Amino acid sequence: MIVNPTAEGWEIIYHRSHALLAAQIALQWHNVEREERIAETITAIAQHDDLECEWEGDHLSSVGAPLDFTLTPKNLAAVDPWRQLITEALYRGRWVALLTAMHVQFLNAPYKADDRKLASFLADLDQQIAQWRKELKISKKEAEQSYAFLQWCDRLSLILCGRALPEHERWLEIANGPDGRRYDIMQRADRSLVVEPWPFREQRFVVAADACYLNQLQFTANAELTRALKAAPISSIYWEFSRSPLGQSARTTAAPASE
């Protein structure tokens, strides 16, 4: 889960909600309607974090606070959940499984030197990905471009959900897109968001994600946290993207250049 401090306690955004936000962003991409496998790609983006189950497992820090996913210790020996995630993706189709497997590779590659079981799993995954590419008749470059799209949408969603936008209209790098170009984001004084270069079909659009809010700072056990999350009030967070500052015409105002 994504955990943000508030004046009263914690803002919690579940990973599946973040993934759904990433899919909303993907639907706004400028040439999304021309992509041959766009429905499958959007599906992969929306379900790539289905492994996360915030009402299960250990989600507390050593002092009893809700644990943000970036602080969760890595269990390198636990490859079975990753296998299960890819297996479930395969029920939707090989393309969804392919992109999901590439995401699993990306997340685990930095740790394979530390664990033989993980390294063996990733080596087997390499062969499976190559087999799926062959069956689907796509090149490695095409697969990498599609995964770059997933990763770009995932990264932008994490920036939003993690409240990572800089203040004072400063730019933040998102990532390179599927076209190989670098993209940056900035939040204006009016709270609207602009991405440079502008990659979206619409000049202005809104995306949203649900978050729940806790006013308890510490918990004695995960069961207590789970009960609190299930009872917590839920609100939608909205982000407005606009190529021009709000109140100005997109026809007459150019998007600012990134620094």
pLDDT on residue 246 = 73
pLDDT on residue 259 = 33
CA distance 13 to 162: 9
Residue 212 predicted with pLDDT over 90: yes
CA distance 118 to 75: 10
CA distance 157 to 151: 10
Residue ranges of the domains in the chain?
Answer: 2-167+206-237
DSSP assigned state of 112: G
Nearest to 212 by CA among 201, 225, 203: 225
pLDDT tier, 97 (very low <50, low <70, confident <90, very high otherwise): very high
Beta-bridge partners for 77: none
Q: Which residue has the tokens 């496998």?
A: 37
Q: What phi and psi values does residue 135 have, to the nearest 5 degrees?
A: -65, -35
Instruction: Quick: pLDDT tens for 181-206.
Output: 999 999 999 999 999 999 999 999 99
Two tokens at 50? 């289905």
Instruction: Quick: pLDDT tens for 28-73.
Output: 998 766 667 899 999 999 997 766 665 566 788 889 999 898 887 6
Instruction: Quick: pLDDT tens for 135-155.
Output: 999 999 999 999 999 999 999
Residue 127 predicted with pLDDT over 70: yes
